[in-house]
Structure 1
């Protein structure tokens, strides 16, 4: 009985340690948009503007939303896993924009655990032993052509 209990506690300790890692990374948007065929998969029907990037005139504001996407990071570099999670988050923002009839998502910020990090050139990703995650928040709008 003591052996079973010791093995169970050891397994719990290993699992807890593995899940506890949460490394914050700031990665370049340009690299994420170049990875995983992101440009093609996102297309150009919805435009994306990060941080304080200038936009054409906003004609109509349709709301805001956030998304948090995770991906398996086992056996992947942190950058590769984070780029996959980033693309998943961008595809969710694009889907929501289409649902609302928006042609752009502006003021996109990282929003991990509801803490905003705004940048025109980087996004925040949290990389763990098993999962990597990206959380984004943006505003859906119609822009002047």
Structure 2
């Protein structure tokens, strides 16, 4: 009886550890940008993506997101996590009078992406996480 109980507890513990293992993944940014609306009048520029001339620098901001995974696939939860973090970033930019966020980078722990096309996300069986940071600026209006 004790052996069975110990075996069951060990299996349960190993299952939890395996379920909580975090994997660092990279996904394209465009599906998130195309499916979401962020703060009105705030443009988002990733990495060294070209942007209009900067008129005013308002400082750098970092935001993070760490939602529970529930039944979402890895790509679904990572896209939702990026969307949430970008929404936070764009809202701060809007509130501070910026019309753009430039040099946006994404990262999970020590894995950083400054890519204009892809982002980095940490995902496990129970959640996803990432951070975004960017420089709040006002840029010349598009002509």
| CA deviation string 1:68-109 (max 9, x = no partner) | 102222321111111111110111101211232111100001
TM-score, length of structure 1 as denominator length? 0.84
Whether the aligned pair in 2 keeps the contact of 1:86 and 1:134 (CA below 8 Å) is yes
Match in the other structure for 1:14 = 15
Match in the other structure for 1:25 = 25
Whether the aligned pair in 2 keeps the contact of 1:112 and 1:136 (CA below 8 Å) is no
In 1: Cα distance, 2:10 partner to 2:81 partner: 32
Match in the other structure for 2:109 = 113
**Structure 2 unmatched ranges of 5 or more:** none
Match in the other structure for 1:137 = 133
In 2: Cα distance, 1:112 partner to 1:126 partner: 6
In 2: Cα distance, 1:120 partner to 1:71 partner: 24
Counterpart selection for 1:101 from 97, 104, 114: 97
Whether the aligned pair in 1 keeps the contact of 2:38 and 2:91 (CA below 8 Å) is no
In 1: Cα distance, 2:30 partner to 2:8 partner: 46
In 2: Cα distance, 1:57 partner to 1:107 partner: 13
1:60 aligns with 2:56: yes
**Structure 1 unmatched ranges of 5 or more:** none
User: Residue 89 and residue 79 in structure 1: after superposition, are their counterparts in 2 closer, same or farther (change >3 A)?
Assistant: same
| Secondary structure class of the residue paired with 1:107 | strand
| Secondary structure class of the residue paired with 1:92 | helix
Alignment coverage as a number of residue pairs: 140
In 1: Cα distance, 2:117 partner to 2:105 partner: 11
In 2: Cα distance, 1:56 partner to 1:131 partner: 36
